[in-house]
Amino acid sequence: MIGARETTEGGFFSPLQNIISRATAQRLSCLVVPGPELALASGLDLPAAGLALAAGPRQANVLLLVLPLSEKLLTAASIAYAQMPRPRMVLALGEGTFSPLPEADATGPLTSEGLMEATKKLRQIMAEGIFATKIDDYDAPALQTRIEYTCPMHPEVVSDEPGSCPKCGMFLVPKETSTTSDTPSPHDHATMAASRPAASVSSAEFAHTADDNVAKYVCPMHPEVTSDAPGNCPKCGMNLVKPDESEGHGHHTHSHSAHADSEKTAKYVCPMHPEVTSNEPGSCPKCGMFLEEVTKAGGEEQHDHSSHASGKEAAKYTCPMHPEVISDSPGQCPKCGMNLEQQTTDDEHDGHQSSGHDHGGNALLDGLIGLEPGFMSMIEMTDGTPRSSNGLQMEWITAPFGPFFPGLPGGLTLELELDGDTVVEAKTGSLTGLQDPLKNGPLAAADYVAALGVQMPLATIAYRLLACRAIEVAGNTFATPEIKAIRMATLARERIASHLSWLSQLGRQLGLKAVEREAATLHLLVHAADPATIQALEPRVKKLLSKLRRTWFLSRRLATVGALPASAAWDGPTSHDNTAAGRFTARLDEIATSLNEIKGASSLSAPTLADIGTATGEGHAEVQTPRGLASLHIKLESGKVVSATLKTPSMRHIKLVNPLIEQRELADALVAVASLDLSPWELNT
């Protein structure tokens, strides 16, 4: 066949398939794990290899792994890979394992050359496999569990969606279930939304102490669950009630005298809260259970068996919208919340028609009246929740960002509690984590220097220099003036490259493609350049700085976000303006200053340790890294590092996230977090 090409399965492409496969193979979009900034720090030129950065896993067909990666990052990467559309491939650069991900389609050394060769192989695989009829499926182990919802009172009631138990009306609570096993995994039951948003009370707020007398709210079913604020029980989902209201339920006695008058005429009562009565069917506002129809005789509750006495079949209730939902008692539909309606026989139907009541013109009104007992307004749903800065009360939600969110450091986890689009609280962490080079025991001094540098891939020079200085102080040995000059010039080069990388990621987050591309290109040209090359690049770098200073959008966008409190422990690039705009300008100034520091340097190279022999002692040193001040205190014994205490700028700056973004709109909060330039490798959480 003319123009045909053989496939990997022994068939042949048609001319049209040939064209499509080749065109698709040229458009590779990658999700970088842990993030684009590490690819830059490793000297990987993605555009030169024909790889475009994807905004997320659903826009990527290549998962690019920059090894080595932590177990947590690999787990997150496996979930991202499962979300990628087919055809999808894995490209691994560097050395290290990447389980639970599937076997890599292409591998190579962590260099630009390795990237180019591996990408060439990927294109061939993509072109040959795009029309494959056999596709290997992949399910991330982390996704092989599902959430089911069950009733605390009736465990046989199981649903794939939250709702109410059709038997008793209690809120269903979630549990984790394996997709490959019938045995559910241990799970801390999350709070289901009731008359208040679940986010209004977190599990951390429940006080499990012996002194329950100070508690303002308690669960009627689980008296050990107490809280100072209203909310829901994390075990069963019931509303927390005041202690005096909870008395008389569970195993306590209860006096009905206080309710005698009201119960004489009440037709419906809550089985769990006898004080809750109503003349109409509905749900208990405290626990959500269906109110039960009762009659009173001699002060004792009696079920109405008149229908049985008369020989009639017990009344059935069904949902007007979901006729498959049937109940023996009145209540609400667990699927849509509508009131269940009593099923009528033909005789009853005829009798109703002959009653002379005309409802023909009031169908809508009848529907509204029928919904009214179970209707819950936004005011009720947000009762007890704090007001946001705009004065409104809305249901809170928890939204995760990272570890691969565009514009934020790869590996950084950011979980925001949102009141509408306003940030209430943030939880931050790291999937890379600060690794201790001494976890397996003491290290020779030179080996410790190398290990600490590897642990900090975004600031290798700074942390190698920090280790050298601390060890040399402990060994009472000091570098020569010439070596000190080379070290400082090399540190200045790393500062320029780091700030350019940050500018590239900021441009990506703000949608400034030209800034993203130019800053990334300059980073790749600078990060391993000699003094002469950097001097030749100086006009181009300064042109970018000048352009950024004149960009009206940037100055306006950053000027109103990221304001730190006066007491903030910020030791990064300093400026008079303590906002995101100030930190942006300070980094531009540091790039210009660092260019001048490199002039006149004889060479640039990674710091190496002076000969300390078999020295014993303690040493302390500080270095101004691209992100701020880092300090290291080490203890030497016979030329080996036996203990070390490291403090990084990101450890301090991550504590500023909450005061920085509290009560800010979501978009402003994300820009503010990016302005801190956190390094997940510097965090110990």
Q: By mean pLDDT, which of 206-210, 215-219, 433-437, 554-558 is the weakest?
A: 206-210
Alpha helices in 110-259 (DSSP H): 112-129, 243-246
H-run or E-run covering 444: strand 443-444
Give the phi and the psi of residue 149 in degrees, each rounded to 5.
-120, 135
Say yes or no: 524 and 624 in one domain.
no
Whether 317 and 281 have beta carbons less than 8 Å apart is answered as: no
Q: For the residues 195-207, what does the mean pLDDT come to?
A: 33
What pLDDT is attached to residue 672? 95
Residue 643 binned pLDDT confidence (cut-offs 50, 70, 90): very high
d(CA 381, CA 375) in angstroms, rounded, equals 11
**What is the per-residue pLDDT across 372-382, written as a single tens digit (0 to 9) for each?**
444 445 555 55
**What are the residues whose beta carbons fall under 8 Å from the beta carbon of 292, sequence distance 6 or more?**
268, 269, 270, 271, 303, 329
What pLDDT is attached to residue 286? 73
Query: Considering 538, 566, 599, which residue would you say is the last residue of a domain?
Result: 599
Q: Is the pLDDT score of 192 beyond 60?
A: no
Say yes or no: 413 and 485 in one domain.
no
Q: By mean pLDDT, which of 69-83, 231-245, 577-591, 616-630 is the weakest?
A: 231-245
Q: Is the pLDDT score of 477 beyond 60?
A: yes
Q: Is the pLDDT score of 353 beyond 60?
A: no
Burial per residue of 614-645, b for 16 or more beta-carbon CB atoms within 10 angstroms, e otherwise: ebeeebebebbbbbbebebbbbbeebbbeebe
What pLDDT is attached to residue 291? 79
Place of tokens 């009370």: 201
What pLDDT is attached to residue 512? 93
Q: For the residues 136-164, what does the mean pLDDT come to?
A: 74
Q: Is the pLDDT score of 210 beyond 60?
A: no
Query: Considering 559, 580, 599, which residue would you say is the last residue of a domain?
Result: 599
Say yes or no: 551 and 668 in one domain.
no
Say yes or no: 456 and 509 in one domain.
no
Q: By mean pLDDT, which of 188-192, 207-211, 359-363, 406-410 is the weakest?
A: 188-192
Q: For the residues 60-83, what does the mean pLDDT come to?
A: 94
The count of structural domains within the chain is 5
Q: For the residues 258-277, what does the mean pLDDT come to?
A: 64
d(CA 208, CA 215) in angstroms, rounded, equals 10
Q: For the residues 253-270, what does the mean pLDDT come to?
A: 52
Q: Is the pLDDT score of 202 beyond 50?
A: no
* 192 inside domain: no
Say yes or no: 491 and 636 in one domain.
no
Give the phi and the psi of residue 469 in degrees, each rounded to 5.
-65, -45
Q: Taking Cα atoms as reference points, which of 69, 66, 63, 70 lies closest to residue 109?
A: 66
Say yes or no: 564 and 639 in one domain.
no
Query: Considering 564, 599, 634, which residue would you say is the last residue of a domain?
Result: 599
d(CA 427, CA 568) in angstroms, rounded, equals 18
Q: Sort 299 into a burial class: Cβ within 10 Å, 0-12 / 13-18 / 19+.
A: exposed
Q: Could you tell me the two tokens for 651? A: 């450890």
Residue 145 binned pLDDT confidence (cut-offs 50, 70, 90): low
Rounded to two decimals, what is the model's pTM?
Answer: 0.67
* 389 inside domain: no
Q: Is the pLDDT score of 110 beyond 50?
A: yes
Residue 526 binned pLDDT confidence (cut-offs 50, 70, 90): very high
Backbone dihedral region for residue 275 (phi beyond 0: left; psi -120 to 50: alpha; all else: beta): alpha
Domain of 528 in residue numbering reads as: 480-599
Q: CA angle 173-225-427, nearest 5°?
A: 70
**CB count, 10 Å around CB of 157?**
19
Q: Which of 19-33, 89-103, 142-156, 562-576 has the highest mean pLDDT?
A: 89-103
* 511 inside domain: yes
* 450 inside domain: yes
* 237 inside domain: no
Q: Could you tell me the two tokens for 515? A: 């800034």
**What's the chain's average pLDDT?**
78
Q: Kindly state the percentage of the chain with pLDDT values over 90.
A: 48
Q: For the residues 516-539, what does the mean pLDDT come to?
A: 96
Cis, bond preceding 15 (omega within 30 deg of 0): no
**What is the per-residue pLDDT across 509-525, written as a single tens digit (0 to 9) for each?**
999 999 999 999 999 99
Residue predicted with more confidence, 605 or 566: 605
Q: Is the pLDDT score of 264 beyond 50?
A: no
* 153 inside domain: no
Q: Could you tell me the two tokens for 314? A: 């017990």
Say yes or no: 18 and 114 in one domain.
yes
What pLDDT is attached to residue 394? 66
d(CA 64, CA 246) in angstroms, rounded, equals 57
Q: Which of 156-160, 197-201, 551-555 has the highest mean pLDDT?
A: 551-555
Say yes or no: 55 and 97 in one domain.
yes
Say yes or no: 570 and 463 in one domain.
no
Q: Is the pLDDT score of 10 beyond 90?
A: no
Q: Is the pLDDT score of 70 beyond 80?
A: yes
Q: Is the pLDDT score of 184 beyond 70?
A: no
What pLDDT is attached to residue 180? 46
Say yes or no: 24 and 134 in one domain.
yes
Q: Is the pLDDT score of 258 beyond 60?
A: no
Q: Is the pLDDT score of 356 beyond 50?
A: no
Residue 181 binned pLDDT confidence (cut-offs 50, 70, 90): very low
CATH of the domain at 26: 3.40.50
Q: By mean pLDDT, which of 65-74, 200-209, 289-298, 299-308 is the weakest?
A: 200-209
What pLDDT is attached to residue 654? 94
What pLDDT is attached to residue 327? 78
What pLDDT is attached to residue 615? 95
* 331 inside domain: yes
* 12 inside domain: yes
Whether 205 and 227 have beta carbons less than 8 Å apart is answered as: yes
Residue 263 binned pLDDT confidence (cut-offs 50, 70, 90): very low
Q: Is the pLDDT score of 141 beyond 90?
A: no
Q: Sort 472 into a burial class: Cβ within 10 Å, 0-12 / 13-18 / 19+.
A: buried
What pLDDT is attached to residue 17? 62
Q: Residue 143, CB half-sphere, CA atoms under 13 Å: how many?
A: 13
Q: Is the pLDDT score of 35 beyond 80?
A: yes
Say yes or no: 472 and 485 in one domain.
no
Residue predicted with more confidence, 82 or 250: 82
H-run or E-run covering 661: helix 657-661
**What is the per-residue pLDDT across 291-329, written as a single tens digit (0 to 9) for each?**
787 654 334 444 444 444 444 455 677 877 767 778 777
Q: Is the pLDDT score of 404 beyond 60?
A: yes
Residue predicted with more confidence, 634 or 573: 634
Q: Kindly state the percentage of the chain with pLDDT values over 70.
A: 71
Say yes or no: 14 and 118 in one domain.
yes
DSSP state, residue 634: E
What pLDDT is attached to residue 340? 78
